[in-house]
Amino acid sequence: MTMQYTIWRDENGIPHIDGKTIAYMYHGQGFSHARDRGMQMLLMRILGQGRLCEILDDSEDSLKIDLFFRRMNWSGNTRHHVENLSPQAHDRLKAYCVGINSAFSQKTPLEFKLFGYRPEPWTPEDSILISRMVGYLTLAQSQGEIERLLIEMVQAGVSDDKLEALFPGLLGELDRELLGKVKLHERIVPNEVLWAAGAPRMMASNNWVLAGRKTASGKPILCNDPHLEVNRLPNVWCEMALECADQWMIGGTMPGLPGILIGRNNTLSWGATYAFVDTIDSWVEQCRDGQYYREDGDHWHDFTAREETIRRQKKDPLTVTFYENDLGTLEGDPHKDEYCLITRWAAADSGAASVEASLGMFEAKTVKDGMQTYGRIETGWNYIFADVDGNIGFQMSGQVPIRRQGLSGLVPVPAWQSKNHWQGFIAQEDMPCQYNPDCGFICTANEDLNRFGKASPINMPMGSYRSDRIADLLAGRDDWQSEDMFAMHFDVYSRQAEDYMKILRPLLPDTPQGKILADWDLQYDLASKGATLFEAFYKALYREVFGKRGLGEAVINFLQNETGTFIDFYANFDCILLGETSPWFGDQTRDDLFRNVAKKALKIEPQPWSAKQKYTMTNIFFGGKLPAFLGFDRGPLTAIGGRATIYQGQIYRSGGRDTTFMPSFRFVTDFDQETLRTNLAGGPSDRRFSKWYCSDLDNWRNGKYKTIHMGQSQQKYRF
């Protein structure tokens, strides 16, 4: 394919690709991704293929990472998905891959030259792999982890009444005796080191959209700020502008995937948050002699054995065998006489529909077009839309299993009973959605949105604090402008703290610390000592109620400090702690617990919130191993916000390293203008010595929004 497109950078370093045809445009996007984010793309592919030991780092930690990805098998069974693409989507994806390979043929990222690695050609199958990784890592994965935590709690002897209080209405057909027999091969405590490598951590997000009658311009405004791991360079997102003839598209892309994932085109804008749909289940398999049991027909059946060979630089190749059947992949050895979990992710054998949808957004013109197109994506997202005609909408996506009545998907049940198997998938038209609601706005923030659908795909959402705060603000005015949206992105008022302080304030000790907390304005700003004291109380309350009265303080400390369990599912724990009574309280009243915990926890020296919120952005390839003066890493930086504020500022450890959840990329678009207002925690390039490596970081930190225009910029840089 001869080059029939132009690429140039605007004054912010953002690549603009203008193609003579749409296929050539995607060819240019592939070239741009490989040139600006080639290291990131190749590292993601190496991780997804389970080849870290072979190519980069033959350590025991890397071996665990390779074993995880080989077990998931995302790089396998992709060819037929490419074949299932429409001819148009296939041609565009192929053109995208040709563009990538054209760039790699000219220049290999320096990091891989140091390891003597010459990239294999990028294929459409590789983009399917990236699509699967983006949809699973931390997102669907968190649903699987909570199921294992439930088993650990059962095996630790946590009582039924306490479990029901923590998972209300979700424990149908819980068989304690059976779960007690399960041999757990993967545990939540202690955590593995999977995240020591460069795979992205996805998590929470906010998005909201206002109809024209709620804005000063009379046109819709759409906002999005995906909350991802920001303490890694480069950013997961890569901004880009695509154009062909009189049609254009601008916004956030992910290297390795074609199209604009969140952003806008001439007539339509769209944003996304994770939906917390439950698309991953585990069943209990009874195994012996390499077989599994079924009640119907022939009782014992052979597993399908899949062999994977991991090549290693320092040791002999390691061949591992994974055992599979129609329910998923077994965790354990079926030749032993034991009960094991078998687990399936609904979107594991998917990817084509997601790639096709992303490619299709270039021509989508209306909100209904967007809802129909993105509603077909196999992984779970909350998409919002606005169009130039003034319509707004929301559509949840995801290939969500239908379970028989009485099963929530949280509790592992016997695999040998066919009635417990999935019964198809929820139809797109039954998933939650909205179109032009009477209130004039839509917002989503990972909360329970089942009320908007015929089906109920969510069973373990995040709390509604952020969404409630957004809705409170949006309902209060009808003259919103883009600058007001910028301020909302930086809002650090906590509805969660508001609920707690209603109970705690009259119970506080008569001490300087108690006075500070009593007068706290519920804001998680850098100077706030109230935020620091509240967090000390909140963590101590967890240890008192869930540690001493159930799981053990060491386990609670680990879950708080080294995992995302309380990051994801704090609403379930809050329902207990904010309730007037609970079996978790033992023989104490809630007020006595709050009073006694506060008395002990608030003896600390008050410090500003900034003292607890330090983090460093490290290069994903070198992982903080290089001297600071070389500039691959940036920091220390300080984060505002908390777990339940619109600006979510969470810092904790996972897999032996610091991680964060914060707004990684913010954008606002008002259909009064053909622009996108954005800032990014990083820059366009993953090249340390490029001027675009962290060119947008100061804007992101300081709340300054650049403007992306289509067409020729007054200041144009050579690509």
Amino acid 199: pLDDT: 58
Does position 48 have pLDDT exceeding 60, yes or no? yes
The whole-angstrom separation of Cα 253 and Cα 255 is 6
| Closest-CA residue to 52 (of 313, 319, 257, 235) | 313
Tens digits of per-residue pLDDT, 391-405? 999 999 999 999 999
CA distances from 413 to 145, 205, 633 (A): 16, 32, 46
Which residue is it, tokens 């990028």? 122
What is the C-alpha to C-alpha distance for residues 459 and 456, in angstroms, rounded to an integer?
A: 8
Taking only the tens place, the pLDDT of each residue in 252-299 is 999 999 999 999 999 999 999 999 899 999 999 999 999 999 998 779
Provide φ and ψ at 113, rounded to 5°. -60, -35
Q: What is the pLDDT of residue 152?
A: 87
Q: Please, are residues 492 and 640 in contact by the beta-carbon 8 Å criterion?
A: yes
Helix (H) or strand (E) holding 123: none
Rounded mean pLDDT, 1-12:
85
Q: Hey, what are 291's tokens? A: 């077989």
What share of the chain has pLDDT > 90, as a percent?
76
pLDDT tens digits, one per residue of 310-368: 999 999 999 999 999 999 999 999 999 999 999 999 988 888 889 999 999 999 999 99
Burial (CB < 10 A; 0-12, 13-18, 19+), residue 215, is buried
Q: Record the pTM.
A: 0.94
pLDDT tens for 63-87 read 988 998 999 888 887 778 888 899 9
The mean predicted confidence, pLDDT, of the chain is 91
pLDDT value for 323:
97
Mean pLDDT of 569-597: 93
Return the number of other C-beta atoms located less than 10 Å from residue 138's C-beta: 22
Q: How confident is the model at residue 304 (pLDDT cuts 50, 70, 90)?
A: very high
- The pLDDT value given to residue 187: 57
What is the model's pLDDT at position 198? 55
pLDDT at 454: 96
Using pLDDT thresholds of 50, 70 and 90, give the confidence band for residue 141: low
Residue 152, sorted as left (phi over 0), alpha (psi -120 to 50) or beta, turns out to be alpha
Rounded-to-integer distance, Cα 155 and Cα 181, Å: 9
Statement: residue 38 has pLDDT above 80:
yes
Of 182-186, 382-386, 493-497, which range is least confident?
A: 182-186
Q: Is 552 helix (H, G, I), strand (E, B) or coil?
A: coil
Task: Quote the CA–CA distance of 421 and 440 in Å, as a whole number.
Answer: 41
The model's pLDDT over 176-233, given as tens digits with 9 standing for 90+, comes to 999 999 988 765 544 443 434 555 555 679 999 999 999 999 999 999 999 988 989 9
Least confident of 85-99, 453-467, 705-719: 705-719
For residue 491, name the pLDDT band (cuts at 50, 70, 90).
very high
Q: Give the lowest-confidence range in 2-6, 78-82, 193-197, 704-708.
A: 193-197
* CA distances, 136 to each of 282, 346, 375, 478 (Å): 16, 10, 17, 38
With 80 as the cut, is the pLDDT of residue 561 above it? no
pLDDT in the model for residue 76: 80
Q: What is the arithmetic mean of pLDDT over 23-33?
A: 97
Q: In the chain, what are the domains?
A: 495-611 (1.10.1400)
Question: Quick one: which of 511, 555, 564 has its CA closest to 537?
Answer: 511
